[in-house]
């Protein structure tokens, strides 16, 4: 059973701080990992994806992948109240590219 | 709007009725994925389709659920004889090609409520 695990939170950070969201996965065959943001009652919105070990930066967001430790993280710098949402980590589930999602981490940025 | 289009946004059915959910992929995308999100749970893969082909239905319940993506028109997720446990948000996603590294973009979903 391929699994992606996330701490459900809530993770509470003050405005302007760095929010660190973490994810582990069980399938060593997974190659690509995706972070989606989902506001309550809305659809998942792609934030970043990563498939190489190391860091990938896009604006205030940095995704990190460590395949040896089977660990993925998302850092959000200068957190804003508008970043408050559930962050979903997903890994590819095989040749058909289906995504295996974690249950999400609820982030609350306090003004 | 060039995004993934799903309709209806909300669907209410009584137990035993049929539910039909529609999804038109983003322009230029030929791969469609359906996911279900139960209340307070994560997204679960159901089925992956290309035009006129079901590629992976490993997440689809064996009974009452079916999906298609015809040569013309949207992809359809069909649920027959709905039960209360089918109440969920159903999301469709699309990608341009298959294989790793291809991000999937999601539609706004259909919220299905069973009375």
Q: Are B112 and B34 in contact (CB under 8 A)?
A: no
B40: distance to nearest CA of chain A, Å? 8
- Residue A7 has a pLDDT of 85
> What is the phi/psi pair of residue B43, to 5°?
-75, 135
Inter-chain residue contact A98 with B95, CB threshold 8 Å = no
* A96 contacts in chain B (CB < 8 Å): 48, 55-56, 98
- Among B43, B56, B108, whose Cβ lies nearest the Cβ of A96? B56
Average pLDDT over chain A, rounded to an integer: 93
Inter-chain residue contact B98 with A49, CB threshold 8 Å = no
> What is the phi/psi pair of residue A8, to 5°?
-70, -20
- Residue B98 has a pLDDT of 64
d(CA A43, CA B105): 10
Least trusted range by pLDDT, from A56-60, B52-56, B63-67, B99-103:
B99-103
* B93 contacts in chain A (CB < 8 Å): 99
Strands (DSSP E) contained in chain B are 5-7, 10-13, 19-24, 31-37, 43-50, 53-56, 65-68, 75-79, 88-95, 105-106, 110-114
Chain mean position to CA B23: 7
- pLDDT band per the 50, 70, 90 thresholds, residue B2: confident
- Cis before A10? omega within 30: yes
What is the mean pLDDT of the segment spanning A7-12? 89
- Assess whether pLDDT exceeds 60 at residue B1: no
Chain mean position to CA B61: 13
- Residue B5 has a pLDDT of 96
d(CA A50, CA A62): 10
- Residue B41 has a pLDDT of 80
- Residue B100 has a pLDDT of 59
CB pairs under 8 A between A and B: 65
- Kindly list the strands in the beta sheet with B5-7, ordered across the sheet, starting from the edge strand earlier in the chain: B5-7, B19-24, B75-79, B65-68
Q: Mutate one of B42, B47, B49 to test the A interface: name it (highest A CB count within 10 A).
A: B42
Q: Quick one: residue A31, left, alpha or beta (phi over 0 = left, psi -120 to 50 = alpha)?
A: alpha
Average pLDDT over chain B, rounded to an integer: 93
What tokens were used for A103?
Answer: 């249950």
Q: Mutate one of A25, A97, A103, A105 to test the B interface: name it (highest B CB count within 10 A).
A: A97
pLDDT digits (tens, 9 = 90+) for B32-56: 999 999 987 889 999 999 989 999 9
Name the residue in chain B with its Cα closest to that of A104. B42
* A98 contacts in chain B (CB < 8 Å): 33, 45, 48, 56, 58-59
């Amino acid at each position: 059973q391929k699994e992606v695990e996330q701490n459900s939170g809530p993770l509470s950070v003050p405005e302007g701080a760095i929010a660190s969201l973490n994810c582990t996965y069980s399938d060593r065959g997974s190659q690509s990992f995706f972070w989606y943001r989902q506001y309550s009652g809305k659809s998942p919105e792609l934030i970043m994806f990563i498939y190489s070990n190391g860091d990938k930066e896009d604006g205030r967001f940095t995704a990190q992948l460590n395949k040896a430790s089977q660990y993925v993280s998302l850092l959000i710098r200068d957190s804003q109240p508008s970043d408050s949402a559930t962050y979903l980590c997903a890994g590819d589930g095989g040749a058909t590219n289906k995504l295996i999602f974690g249950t999400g981490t609820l982030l609350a940025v306090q003004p | 709007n060039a995004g993934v289009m799903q309709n209806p946004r909300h669907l209410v059915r009584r137990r035993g009725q049929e539910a039909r959910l529609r999804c038109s992929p983003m322009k230029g995308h030929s791969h469609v994925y359906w996911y279900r999100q139960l209340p307070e749970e994560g997204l679960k893969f159901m089925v992956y389709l290309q035009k006129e082909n079901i590629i992976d239905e490993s997440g689809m319940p064996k009974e009452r659920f079916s999906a298609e993506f015809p040569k013309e028109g949207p992809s359809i997720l069909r649920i027959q004889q709905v039960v209360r446990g089918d109440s969920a948000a159903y999301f469709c996603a699309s990608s341009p090609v298959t294989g790793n590294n291809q991000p999937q973009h999601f539609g706004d979903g259909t919220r299905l409520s069973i009375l």
